[in-house]
Amino acid sequence: MKTLLILLVCGLITHTTEDEICNQPTYSQNLAQFAKACMSSTYDVVPSPGPDRGVDGITDTNHTLFPCSVTNLEYQSYFQVDLELSYVVGRVVIFNRRDCCWNWLEGAKILVGDEPGFNNPVCATIRNCSKSRPMMEFNCNGMQGRYVTIVHFNSSGIIAVCEMQVYQHNVMEQRQLL
Ligand SMILES: [Ca+2]
């Protein structure tokens, strides 16, 4: 009986531990998918290119078939994902429009940090946007943050994001990107 009790307790402990492990994001999990997203504004068109489009898991970059998230032309336009917890961020992948307008993201900054505004450190500045490069990867190399933001910092422009993916820092993956 005593042995049985010990086995049952161990089984419970093991079960709980497995559940906890299953609830932890793995390094290869896209933290941004279905996360909270917001933008400075939403371009007024039907179907709506609202902020959820940029985290809906659809990476197609033809906006006319699968709408992306698109702001109006305005000062400090931005698209921001709230991961709800602060993570050590590695790769940020942005899927840019290729049906037109791929240059809209040119010069925009990617910020990573724990503040919802524009004071977070810069991970990268988006450069060399082109139709032939709809998927752009950036190495944030272990920056800590809850918010990942694309912003035309101190300038005017339009932000269009078909999808943003955010991955935790993984030393092995970062080496491959270097
Ligand atoms: Ca999408």
Number of domains in the chain: 1
Q: What is the pLDDT of residues 120-177, one digit of tens each?
A: 999 999 999 999 999 999 999 999 999 999 999 999 999 999 999 999 997 665 455 5
Helix (H) or strand (E) holding 19: helix 2-23
Name the CA dihedral angle for 141, 147, 150, 151, rounded to a multiple of 10 degrees: -120
At 13, is the pLDDT very low, low, confident or very high (cuts 50, 70, 90)?
very low
Asked if residue 76 belongs to a domain, the reply is yes
Structure tokens that stand for 28 in this block: 């290869």
Question: By residue range, what is the domain housing residue 166?
Answer: 27-177
CA of 5 from ligand 1 middle (Å) equals 51
CA of 143 from ligand 1 middle (Å) equals 24
Q: What is the pLDDT of residues 52-75, one digit of tens each?
A: 999 999 999 999 999 999 999 999
pTM, to two decimals: 0.83
Asked if residue 134 belongs to a domain, the reply is yes
Q: Domain with 35 in it: what CATH number?
A: 2.60.120.260
CA of 59 from ligand 1 middle (Å) equals 5
